[in-house]
Amino acid sequence: MFEKEYQKKKNDNVRLALAIAHHLIPVLVVNLDLVLSQFKFKKSDFVYIFIFGILFCINNFAQTKLMTRDPYDFLTWESYDSLYVVFGLAITFGLFYLVLCCILDKLTTTEEKEKAA
């Protein structure tokens, strides 16, 4: 019995690690590409993160209700916990974008000052 529980926990940890890698690596690569191409981030564009988040929620809700298995274990849409997760993610990604904008703004301002000098 202990062996089955251990194996399930191990499989859950592997699934979690793969899910993180599956989402994190593309985000890092895209952001690195944007930074290296000197793409101009605007703080006002962070509203698009919320629009994308709403579309994601609609898609995830539909997938959860139409499939026999939830795409994400933590978003079951069976309780208000799913809404808390969604709002938490929206706030986190919004703040991440604003911090990224501030960092890039600081870097480009420094580069412009160096060029002017």
Rounded CA-CA distance 65/57 in Å is 12
| Type of residue numbered 39 | F
**pLDDT one-digit tens code per residue, 77-104:** 888 888 888 888 888 888 888 888 888 8
pTM for the model stands at 0.62
Q: Is residue 106 predicted with pLDDT exceeding 70? A: yes
DSSP state string for 12-71: HHHHHHHHHHHHHHHHHHHHHHHHHTT----GGGGHHHHHHHHHHHHHHHHHHHHSSS-S
69 compared with 82, residue with greater pLDDT? 82
Cβ neighbours for 24, distance < 8 A, ≥ 6 positions apart: none
**pLDDT one-digit tens code per residue, 27-67:** 888 878 877 887 777 878 878 877 888 888 888 888 888 88
